[in-house]
Structures are given as C-alpha cells and as structure tokens.
Structure 1
Amino acid sequence: MRSQRLTSQSSTLFLVAISLCFSLSSSRNPNILQRGSSLSVEDDSDMLTSADNTFTCGFYNVGENAYYFSIWFTNSKEKTVVWMANRDKPVNGKGSRVSLLRDGALVLKDVDGSTTWETNTSSTDVQKAELLDNGNLVLKDSTEEIMLLDISFFFFDTDNVLRLMYDGPDISSVYWPNIDLNVFQNGRTNYNSTKIAVLDDMGRFLSSDRLDFNASDWGFGIKRRLTIDYDGNLRLYSLNNRTGLWIISWKAVMQHCLVHGLCGRNGICVYTPETKCSCPPGYEMADPSNWSKGCKPMFSAICSHSQQVRFVKLQHVDFYGFDSSYTTEISFDSCKKKCLEDCQCQAFSYRLSGEGRCYTKVELFNGYQSPNFSGNIYLKLPLSIESSEDIILNGTNYICNSSESIMKIGISSMYGIGGKRMRWVYLYSFASAIGLIEMLLIVSSWWLLIRRRGVQAVVEEGYRVISRQFMKFTYMELKKATKNFKEELGKGASGAVFKGVLADERVVAVKKLGGAYQMEEVFQAEVSTIGKINHMNLVRMWGFCSESRHRLLVYEYVENKSLDKLLFTENFLGWKERFKVAVGTAKGLAYLHHECLEWVIHCDVKPENILLDGEFEPKISDFGLAKLSQRGHKNSEFSRIRGTKGYMAPEWALNLPITAKVDVYSYGVVILELVKGIRLSNWVVEDGEEQETELTRFVRVTKRKIQSEEAAWMEDAVDTRLNGEFSKIQAAKMVEIGISCVEEDRSKRPTMDSIVQALMASKMVEIGISCVEEDRNKRPTMDSIVQALMACEDVSRIRTPDNLSVII
C-alpha cells in the first residue's frame, strides 16, 4: 500500500476526478470542462455541476482568502466536501485557477503562478473532464473512453481486513473490529485475495472481508456518504434533500469509549451518560484545552521499594494494552505484590470471571469505565496522594483539538505520504473513496431506473422508503386506521393495544399509552430515538402520535400473539420452537444491551412481551417505554420499581442501581419456563399460605438433583407434555443458563451476549453428535448442516458492553 505505484495511481485517480469539474466554464454543458478551459476562483459561478444536480465541483472557501479545489454535495445544507485537491495548501482568493491544459494535464495554480496540484495525465489524448451523476470525476479522450478513475476498491490492512486504527503521537493501536475477538469471531475473514468494498445504491455495504451492513433507511433514491469522523468513529450518513441535513444511518463503534485515544495518556473515558473524559486520582489534565494530550501525574515516578505507596481502586475501569505480565488463577494479594515489586508497574487490573486474572500495566492508555466490565484497576500512588475510597469519575467535556492525533483506516498508508499530511490523507481520502465507490456502482442500476421512471420518480420513491421507516401520525389517522380502536389485541400496565391498517395497507399494532408522559417535545425526541432501534428480534416501531393528551405508538403487527398464549396453554410449543424463542430473545436483548445506537434496559422481560411471528421467530416488545414516562409525576402509573411480579430482579426491591442485569434475571425466568412449560413466576400455596415461588422450588430441587447426579433430573425438569421429544444437550444448557441468570448476586449473572454464544455452542455440539450417528439415516445432510452453522454465526459480537446513554 505504500508503493510508489499505488501512490501514483491513487493521486492520479483523485486528480482526474477533479479535472472533470472544469469543463463547465468553456462548454454549454455545466458538467464538462473542455481541454484548454479553466475555472477561476474569483467567479462564484465558475464550477461544474453534475447533470442531476447532486454534485458540484469548484473552489470551496475555508477561511479568509483561503480556497480549496473540491467536490461537494450540492444539496447539503452546509457544503459537505467529498474530496479536496490541495488539502494542505489552500490557494489565494484572487487570480488562482484550475485548467485542463492542451497536453491533457489538469493543473491548479496559485495567484503567483506556482503549481499547487496537478494530475500526471500529460501527453495523453484527454479532451474533457466530466462530473458524472454518480459523483465520479473522469477524464475522457476523443473516443469517450474513461481514461482514469477506477475507484471500485480501496486498500485494507495487510491481512485484507478492514480496520479502524488510532495513530497518535505516542502510540498506534487498532480498535475496530472488536479487538477481544479474532477475525472469524468478528464475522470477518482473511481468507480472501481481494480488497474490495462496495456501498450500493440501496444502502448496503459489502466487502471482501465479509463486513456486511445496511443503512437504517435502506432503499433507492438516497444519497449517502461513509465518513470517518473527527472522533474516530466510522459513520454512514444519508442526505434528506428536502432539509439538506445528514442523518446517521449506521456506525461502526456503538460504545464510543471503545474508540482509542479519545482521552489521551492516563485519561479515562466515562459515560455521564454522554461521553466525557476524566483523570484518575493523582493525575491532572496535561493541557486543559485538549484532552488528546491526556493526564499527567502529580507525583514523581515510584521506583523505590522503600517508598510508601498505596493502591486506589477504580471500579469497572480498564486500560487497554501495555500489560507487562498476565497471570491466571492468582489471588488478589499476589497480583498486588507483582505490581508492587515491579518498578515500571503503574497499576494492575484484577478480574474475577471464574478465575482470578492479573494484568500489570506499565503504561495507561485507552482507559474506559463500563458498569459491565468484570474487573477493576488498582492505581499505584504515593501514600501522600489523598484519595477517597469511593472514586467517582464524572469527567469533563471531551475536546478534540489536536492536529497531531488522527484516527485512520488500516495499518499502513494508502498513499505512502509521510508526516502530518499522511494522517490527514487517511481521513479525507477514505471519505472520498467510499463516496466515489458508491457512485460508481450506482451508475448502472440508477441509469436503468432513470430510463424507466425518471430521476424525480426514483428520488420520490427513496423518500417514500424513508417515510415508511418512521413517521409522526395524527390522532385522526390512527383512529381511522383502528376503526375507532375497535379490535383490542391486549392490555398491559402501559396501555391497551389495538389492531389497525394504515393508508398504505400495512397492518399495525397501535398502543394507546396510559398514565403521565413527557411533554410533547421531549416525548417526540425520546420516541424518535427508540424508533431508530432495529433488529429482527425486536418489534419494529413504525411511528407515533403526540397530540395534546394523546400518546400513541405504532408497531409492526406480529401474527402469532405472545409467548404466554402459546406456552402455558393446550396448544403448546414444540421443542424446536422453544429453542428458537430462547435464542432469538437472547439475541434481541443482547442487541439492546450491547449493539444498538443507545444502551437500552428493557426492565419488563416476560412471556407477554415476547411476540412470535409466522415462523415462530420471537420479537421483543415494549422496550424503552419507561424513558417516555414522567416517573416522578404524581399521577404516573410507573414507579421506580418496574417489571412484573415473579420476573423482577432482587435489586429492584433492594433499591440498588439498575443495570442490564435486571433483564438477565428476567430472561432467566423466561428460559426456565420454556423448559418446564409452566409459570415459574407463580407462588406455591400450601395450607392456604404462599410458601415460595415455583421458581425458587424449581431451582432448589434441580440444583440438588444435578449435584447428586440423579440420572432422571432432566426428565423431571422438562415439560412432560413434550413426551421426551426434546434435545437433551439444549435442555441441559438452557437449565444451566437459566439458573445462572437468576442468581441473587447480579455480578454472578452472565451477560446477554455470552448467553447467545453459549446457546449457539450447544447447537453446534448437537450438530457434531448427529453427524457421527452409527445409523447413517439419522445423520443430517450437508445442506442442513450449512444452514445450522450459518445460524450459529449470527451472535452478538461485543462481549463487554459500555454504558452509553441509557434508556430504561
């Protein structure tokens, strides 16, 4: 990637792209610059515009008398630049011009006549430069052959995997995809000989390393850009032509604090709930105006064994990398001693996750705090440094002013340019390349659509797709759709649900919320956030109504009602469907806890809130509702204690802080009910008095039988209505998971993504056993094996969730 050949090609590609922009000044066509013509910086109308008015090419003002030769989106409210020719050397606002010379070279000259930038296309038969509708800038010869600008690919890391990397003044480190997982666990592959990435005109991104994602507003007619932003995150934006605003439709790193380098050396990224930076005890900001420079110690290096030191505990904090030693099955005191005896050790991390794990740290980089991180950091400080036992990291606003630390793609340079310019090229050229890749692929399908329906029809169709994704309804629209709220599907603590049919013939479920809710503006903002959450195992919200006292939510209609109606009745579910419900529900909760745009706690996981579609795929409903309510309002039906009796975690009653582990507890009750087939949330009544819950009795009896190795324990634990037709491997794993989920000590409960992985692992074990059956008729076909393994791949990828903005 650093070869001169690639440097020349890449530079040529972008130079050629720019030359296209000049043909307007000397041609009747506004998107063409003929050979021998120029564009002047002094003429505001001297620019190229694509035929469909999507892209403009010309001089872009970035300051007093400073201009860049650029390409930008015409209809964005603020000019959104996709490429700059002279990024590090702006030209003067007087006398500067870009010209397509007679020898075929496109040249940008400053007012003094010096060449600021040029293509290497001299001595060619280039006749014109043209700005295409897809954003590509091309040079064409007399045969109309496109001579340059093939941007249907870009270069990844040396192992052909697309990555995000922090390249700062002190360190360089990769932070995406998940650095705790290997290539294949991240759903990627490095068994590919190509480095191709495509963002198509529907909003789907595909790459040769198997990275695959869709824009949330998936559909035709929408202009998009994939940009690595100043904060180090990679985001996909969609342009609304009516407002000129960009909307985030996908992002790579869901937990912002996992981006490396945000808070500099010794700094800790925290959520309050917004992302902020904080210095640990004994440290202060190195530069109060720039967090990228991190924190500096307020003490001298500790390197004398006679020097008195103390260790200060930072709960749920970790610093990535720079481990001078790593030891397992070690006690806390032994770990502490290792750091104490190591002159270079600045802190140690100790984790209890089945075994004691000790990491001694010689440097403190990429610090972050997460309530679900299972370990703590213990800072080595002089005894003279005063610090309270209960450390609270509140943080201060994150400021990114440093021009010395840039987030970038891949390990090595795309263009082989050194120094500061190389780091800026990563940022801008990546955004340019992705945008132009998209446009190159759009051109064929877009042109076919234009011929059939016309540009305007396609654009309108694209925005109809957007409007169908999430919209605000009037009360009268929903009243008409539900025939005056005639057919009630169900009723719960948050309100009643009615069946309806929208004007576009979509069947929906309309929930009329009861109780007190936020003011209209706040309600709309919160429900819009919830509406962005999209997962196959979550009920999709299509829109809402907020008028006067009316608060309604519009959801997709799910055919097979709720789980309780198909589990606790005579028409009970078979084992295959039960396992599918267990896995799908776990995936949905894992997405809420770990992967969606906001970190969401459901707070009321129960069979009534798990709906089943036509294929018995589960869809979780009613997530995020507490965010909409005025929980402090005197008339509110919501109190601090949420949930349903029998499914509520003990911390609700103990007034402990509420974390995602309350959902894990509720899920544990549900998965055990899937196994047993009865309401474990009910109370056992003896002699007219409630003795204990069915759950308590089930867990106690099952644990005793397992520990005493009773052979028939599983038959007693599984629903007798199944008549023994169930997978013993899956049943044993579900019971094991369920019991661990309902632990009173929440720190002993697993996370939802680890539950998904455990369930999928049991599925793979079952596949392996079935393959070695002596009776060949009982062995599965390869097609069925492939399908089962593909399902096993669809697991949550992030093992350690971080506390982003919390929706309860």
Structure 2
Amino acid sequence: MSFHLLLLALQLHLYIYSLLQGSTSAAGSISGLPSTVSLGTSFSTTHTLWMQSQNEVFQLDLRSWVDEGADQCMGGVRYTYKTPNALIWTFNTVPEPLLGTNCNLILRSNGVLAFELTPPSSSSRVVAWQTPTAGLRVQNLTLQDDGNLVLVNDTGGIVWQSFDSFHHLFMIPSGMRFLQNITLYDRVSLYSDFSMPGCYALQMGSQGRLQMFTRANIYVYNTIGINASTSGNNASIANYIIFNQDIEFYSSRGILMGKVAHNILNDDPLPNPTNLTGSALFKDGNLLINRPSPTNPNHHLWYYNSSISGFCDFPLVCGEYGLCNEATRECSCPPGFQRTFTKPACTAQDEPTRKCSCPEEFQMPKFNSTCVPVDDAYSLHPINVSFYPQPSAVRVDSQGACRSLCEQNASCNAALFDSNSSSCALFPVLYTVSLPSQNKATTGQVMFLKITMVSTSSGSATAIIVGATVGGAALIVIVVCLVLYWWFWWRPHNIRMQAQKRFLQDISKLPPRFTYKELEVATNNFSRRLGTGGFGSVYEGVFHMPTGITRVAVKRLDEAGASALFTMDEQFKAEVATIGSVSHVNLVTLKGFCMEKNARLLVFEFMPKGSLDRWLYTREPPQAEGSSSSASGGKKAKVPVAESSTELLDWEKRCCIALDTAKGLEYLHHQAAEHIVHCDVKPANILLSDDFHAKVGDFGLAKLTGSDAQSFAMTTLKGTRGYLAPEWLQHATITAKSDVYSYGIVLLELLTGKKCLDPEYGHLPTWVMKAVSAAKGDTTCTSTADNKMLDYDTIDASLLQEKIMDSRLLCDSVPSGSFQRVLILALASVQVDPVDRPSMTSVVQMLEDILEISYSTPSLKLTQMSQKYFPVNLSGWDSTSCSISDSEISGLGQLGPSANGR
C-alpha cells in the first residue's frame, strides 16, 4: 500500500513540474509572478523566482547550495533572455556568494529591505545587507521593466533603487546607463545562473573610454571608445554609455557624442533600439553584446565582440612576471627569474590578487607556468617590452626616474616606463607582458622588476664547530656561554616566535603584513605624529599605490623589554585578532600590521576628523607639536576640542554619531561570528569621517567571547576611569552589558558636553540623576518594594533640557522630545544592574525610531546599590546648584580606577 502511495506521489510531482515548465515561456519568463509586493513579504530559498517585471524581462532570484561542504546562498535580479549565468547584480557589496543557511529576503514592516542568513557555526541570524529606508513610509517593493528594483513610498515616490546602490554587475541590459562608478566583472560560473567575479573587469575611465583591466593590479590591456576632443574641456569627455544597436557614448548633459559600431552581425538584422532586448557581458576577458533570436529566445545572436584574441593579448596567459612571444606563442622569464610549473605557496592577501595569482584555489583558468625570483642581482634591471598605454601612469623625465619611483615605493614590485609619453606606471604585481615583435628590436617601452630574495641565516653551527677546535678550558667556557645564551635569550625568544607563529596561523582572515621598513618610509620615519595614548603613538602615513595616494594611520606600540613585551603582545594580538576578523561600516578598518622583533605596529584607515573627544568638550588651550588631529587607531590627540566656534557639533551630528557608534557595538555584540566585548568604549575611541559619521576603534582590550558565551572574567582591572561598569569593580565579570554602560556614559557626554569625571560636577551620571530628580522634586520617584522608579510623566522636560543640555547648543535647534528620549536611553544604559540595561540591538532600534515611532519607556530603578554608586539626594538637593559634596566625589572614586592609567 505504501509503495503505491509513493508511486502516486511521484507521478503527481512530475505532473506539477510539467505544468510549471509549461507555464514558462521560451525566453525564461514565468506567468503569475508579481511585479510588486507589500510590506511584510518574505522570500526564501525554498523557491527560486519570486518577482518578475511586467514585461517579463527581469526576475528576482534567490538560491542556496552546498559547495565543498560549505552552505552558500546568493540573491539578486536576473535577465530572462540570457542563461546560464544570467544574474545582473546581487544583494552584496561585491557579487560573491554569502556563507550561511536559511537565507531570506524580507521587506520589513518599517520599510527596510533586508537580506538575512544564519552564518556557519552559529545559531543566531545576522543581517548581511539592508537598505537605509527605516521611517521613510515605504509601501511596496517593485521590479520595474528596466530591471531596477525600487522601494516606493505612500506618495508613489522612489526612496531607494538598485541602480543607485549596486555598482558591481555581471551583465548590462540594453538601455541601462553604464556610469564611471560601475564595474562589469568577467564571470566565472558558480552555480546554476549564478557567477562570481573572475580576474578581469571593465570600467569607464576618467577619459571617457571603456577600460578592460586585470582586477589584481589594475593593468589596462585594452580600451574601447571614441576620440575625445583635445581642447581640455571636460564637457568633451563622455560621461556614460548605453548599449543599444551600437555602443553609444553620452556627455554629462545627455548629448550623444559618438558610437562604436557593432562589428558582428548574424543574418537576422538588428531591430529598432526601442525593441532591442540585448545585453552586454564580460566573458573570458572580452566584452560581448548579444540579443535573443526572435524565433528562439534561448539562441543568442551576437553583434559585438571586442576581439581580444592574440596569444599575448591576455595578461594572465604566462603567469606572474612572464614574458610572452606572440610569434612563437611561448612564455619565458625575465633575467633574475626562472620558470616553474608548480605554483609556490600563495602569499597574496586580497581576494582579486589571490584569484589571479592562485587560480587553482578559485576555479580560474590555470597558468601553464609562472616565473619565480632566483637572483636579486637583476633587481630593477631594464627589459625591453611592449605594453598597452596605462591610464594610471604618471609623467616622469627619464627611465631612471621611473626606476627610482619604484625603488622608493614599498608597494611597487614592477614598473613600466614608456618613453613615447614620458610616463611611468607602478604595480604591486605584474602578469604577462609582451616582448617586442621580431621586426622591431625596441618599442621605447621598458619594464623594471623589483626582486627581493629571502636570505638564509647561518645559525650557531659555525660557532659550535669553531668552539670544538679550541682547547679543553676554552671549550668549557664556550659551552657554558652557549648554555647561558640559550637559557636567557634564545629560549624566551624562541617561545615568543612560536607563539607569534601560532597566533598568525590561528587568524582566519589575516590582514596584509607590512615590513618595518615599509611603514618607516610611509610615515617619513614616523615624523607626523597625530596623537598619543597609553600604549603608544599614532602617526600619519602615505602609501603611493597604482590607483593613487592612500592615507593611513599607523599605530606604533611603545617598544618594550622582555618584562613588558608580554603585556604589549597581548594588547597587540587582541587588536589584530578582533578587528581583523570583523568588517562593518561603523568599525575602523585594519589595513595591515607589522611584527618584527620588538616592534608592533597596526595600520588603520585614516579618519580625517579625528576622535570624538576633540569635538565634544569645552575649549582648552592649544597644545604643542602633534596636536593637530587624530586619525585612527583609537588614540587620543592632545587637543580635545574643535579649533573654531564654527566646528561645534550640532544636535543632528550628535545623533548621527550616537547611532553609528551603537550600530558598531551592536555588530560586535550580536552579529559577528565570534561575539566581541570592546571593553573600552569612550569618545577617544570613536573616530569621525569627513561627514561626521562615526566608527569604533582601539580594540586593544577587546575580548572574543565566542558565539555562545554570555560573560567572562577579567583577571586584572583594565579600562578607562569613569567609563568602567560597576560590575567590574565588584566581581570582574564582564558581559556585553558592560559596553552598554560605557556607551551610556558617552551618550550623556554627547547630551551635556561635559566629561564623565569633572572636578566641578563630579561623576556625570550622578550629576544628571540629580538634575532629573530636581526637575519636579520628589514627585519624580515612586517606591516599589526596595526600588525607586523615576516617573517621566511628571518631569518638566524644558527645565530638564535647560539644566542638562550642552550650553553651546541652541535650544531652538534641539527638539525637546528627542532630547528627553535620548536622555532616558542614556540613563537606562547606565543602570547599576546589568539586567536593567537594554541590549545594543534595542539601543539601535530606539535611536532609529526616535523621530517618529514611539517605544515603551525603559524603567530606571534607583536601588540601594545604585544610590551607592550614583548618590542622589531626592529631597534635599538644591535645584539652583549643580555641585556635589566632597564625600560624594570621594565615593565616585570607587568607579574608575584604571590599571593602565588610560
């Protein structure tokens, strides 16, 4: 009986499948799919196609699969007239698959479109991507006929669109604008209709031409475009292109400037541009344009091919530093290199270089051979070659000047000099370069390669052999000296080196590693100091990259002897392990690090506005050298104030900084694969960008608690006086709520403009609590058992704002309702009992909803313990005075001892 039921179910399944296939047109469209969905709609990978444009040309696709034991998923908009690999863009910053299970695309009730999943080895869901549309009155999600996915508000206006947000594409439909900030990737088939970026890419350059280049080193090997005017007028340079019957180039004013005509045409003629459903794609290093055949949409008619077909025209054919002979179709190596058919261990750090340099790891076309350095005597030796003009090249006077540029640039391993244009291009890695043709001995183009060989150490064997030839008495002395040397220096040194090796092996996503010499050059011998802190100083650095100048902040931990090296290493490793394993828009990015002998350096992104404390507190007299700004690495500059009255942080900027900081901490606490407690949240560790967006930095005290752990014990008291949560002082048990407490202190500082510990006001939470209680006298408190609860309904909000708010802010510029809610949130965050504090997720939600959406007011308990740490005299405090007694200040001293003096 069960067998017949099983057979019946199988037949029914096949019947339904045939019906579904029958409803699918030859072009890949499916009838019945909506083009618009409302709030609350959720898409999952249980189905693949969820939405379809009304013209049935575009579909919303969501898939999951398993590759080499790893769960992966991907979602985006696909083009029905091209399959396989038909995805145009994906819900990700870079079109790579996401690792995880239970992938969902959700249009939340607050108008946010979010892509969620469960990461590997985790039971909690995280948001991999979402739109910044909370509170914008979003009503629906619509897939338009041009492939644009949009969020529409209640008035019919578009508040978010994919065309403005996704600049990394696999395909360009005809009629879509291809702008200078968009990249079209060479596609490597991954799963079904899904791809991942290959080694090649295409962009529209600043000179208005399409540039075909290798992703690893931005080496341009071909361009497509029209001849621009030589008048120097930017209006004569194309601003964007559209793929129609031809490749059309337009100015910024939308004026057609010229065309690149189609060069391939099947017997079937091209239709009118308005009826064209073609698409441009980048495949195997070539730009191709096709369209579906009217009689068979799955058959593609080609009408353009960039025709890069020569053996030496593709930069990856001969591997790293290979020389290519077009006549013989052979690869050879420059002087100082030798050919190898076994690729050495891959040392590249960034994803594009790893794909091109280690193709066997990423399903890329493998090199037949590659070149490896063997003799550094040929370093920067000139080699006659032939190459395409490089847009990234800079003007130089001579061949020697180009060689000198590469020699002085730590990031340069190869340079190309073109005497025809007196230009020099620098590269971190170089792939295939052509040799001059047989009938032309020289082209006026020269390549320089920087060869660095790893020298071998002789060890102590020679000393032992020499010592063995010495007489008996001398031999005893030498042996004793060697034993002492081994015991007191080599053994501890070897232990440190092994620990360092294990540390580097344990980090799954190790950032780039710099040499001390490279950072010394970048910082001009550490001459531009930005600020100092408890563990060292921060310096401004500059890297000259092929793509331009990159500013960084280099944090150098003070060199220490053996006794202090362990403490410095712990702080250094904590920072590398923590920030190196996370990535979030509100966390400072670690660009690299250096571990050489006793030197420990961290390279961070440069934050132009410095740290928050410089902009927040009352003006102080300017300091001496090194006080101009603080950039990154979480170190406090010597001038903690803005340098002019026009640089005051207004209310909007303060709310933005509070929200950005909360989002960064929320990611550490709840969304990172290994949950992290920062342990040192304070204004000096909150860095600001040019537009005053905030990022959390300085992870020297951070602790990875694991995805399941809720707390951990601190064996020593570390942190910053005034920001430590009370539980640190009682039993040294730390949780994420300890960071919430420190964040609450920062919120109070943003509200008041005062420091957390002040000789005049004492401890900031105590002073604020007194102001709250004085805003309506005793009626602001009600007793419940042993607790006292603050009653907000009886508080005089305007009086409270007048007494607490930063005096430099104009009252008219700060909505009283917003001020009171942020104040309530701050006081809830500094509750003595960690259970009474909100999580950072709740903090983010409250801050995001503060302008429109109400939320339940958190209760603030004044228990006996809280009054011990926040002494509040509810009955006898003089509302006309903000001072507190010496005994109260003395009691506050218990709150902030700092073991490190930070």
Using structure 2 for the length normalisation, give the TM-score: 0.38
Q: TM-score, normalised by structure 1?
A: 0.42
Quick one: higher RCO (CA 8 Å, sep 6+), 1 or 2? 1
Report which of the two structures shows the higher radius of gyration computed on alpha carbons. 2
